[in-house]
């Protein structure tokens, strides 16, 4: 069973951003698999840095869409992105320093982290971008 099962209720109504969210979900599922099959620290480290990189470029893209359409809550969204990036970077740093293991608690944290980002923050901008003709 996958850690995070994507379904249409996670769609924000903008194709490119949905694709990026799916990529983040897929990376999390890969991390879950890597944990279950006890892959090397190196392999897991690579996946974790992928997650950080995808997250950062996703936030940049999202903010560009929102800036372009003068989204009224852009500042708020940016602040949340900053917090989320910081959280994930902190965890990855702790993993890299050997302070924590990639276990189900960490994965569960990341799953909730991503779910809340999509369902609570991103869902809100969907109709706004759609209204501006972005789908
Ligand atoms: Fe997002």
The predicted-structure confidence for 65-113, as pLDDT tens digits, reads as follows 999 999 999 999 999 999 999 998 998 899 989 998 889 988 998 999 8
The CA 39 to ligand 1 mean position distance, Å, reads 28
From the number of C-beta atoms within 10 Å of its C-beta (0-12, 13-18, 19+), residue 91 rates as buried
Mean pLDDT value of segment 27-35? 95
Supply φ then ψ for residue 19, to 5 degrees: -60, -40
How close is the Cα of 86 to the center of ligand 1, in Å?
A: 15
For 74-119, what is the HEC assignment?
A: HHHHHHHHHHHHHHHHHHHHHHHCCCCCCCHHHHHHHHHHHHHHHH
Mean pLDDT of 1-16: 93
CATH 1.20.120.50 for domain 15-131, yes or no, is yes
Please list all protein residues whose beta carbon sits less than 5 angstroms from ligand 1, which is an ion: 122
Does the structure show a pLDDT above 90 at 1? no
Give the Å distance between the CA of 119 and the centre of ligand 1.
9
Could you tell me the CA-to-CA distances from 27 to 12, 55, 91 in Å, in that order? 19, 10, 16
Mean pLDDT of 1-24: 94
How many A from CA of 118 to the centre of ligand 1? 5
pLDDT, one tens digit per residue, over 43-72 is 999 999 999 999 999 999 999 999 999 999
Judge if pTM exceeds 0.95: no
- Of the candidates 61, 57, 62, 88, the one whose C-alpha atom is nearest the C-alpha of residue 73 is 62
Arithmetic mean of pLDDT, 31-51: 93
Q: Which of 68, 75, 80, 67 is nearest to 119 (CA)?
A: 80
């Amino acid at each position: 069973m996958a850690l995070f099962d994507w379904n249409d209720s996670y769609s924000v109504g903008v194709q490119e951003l949905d694709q990026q969210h799916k990529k983040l979900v897929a990376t999390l599922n890969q991390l879950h698999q890597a944990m279950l099959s006890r892959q090397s620290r190196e392999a897991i480290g690579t996946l974790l840095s992928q997650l950080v990189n995808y997250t950062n470029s996703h936030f940049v893209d999202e903010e560009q869409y929102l800036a372009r359409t003068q989204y009224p809550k852009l500042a708020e969204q940016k602040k949340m992105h900053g917090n989320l990036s910081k959280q994930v970077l902190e965890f990855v740093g702790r993993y890299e320093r050997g302070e924590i293991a990639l276990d189900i608690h960490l994965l569960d944290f990341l799953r909730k982290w991503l779910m809340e980002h999509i369902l609570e923050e991103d869902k809100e901008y969907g109709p706004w971008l759609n209204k501006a003709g972005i789908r």
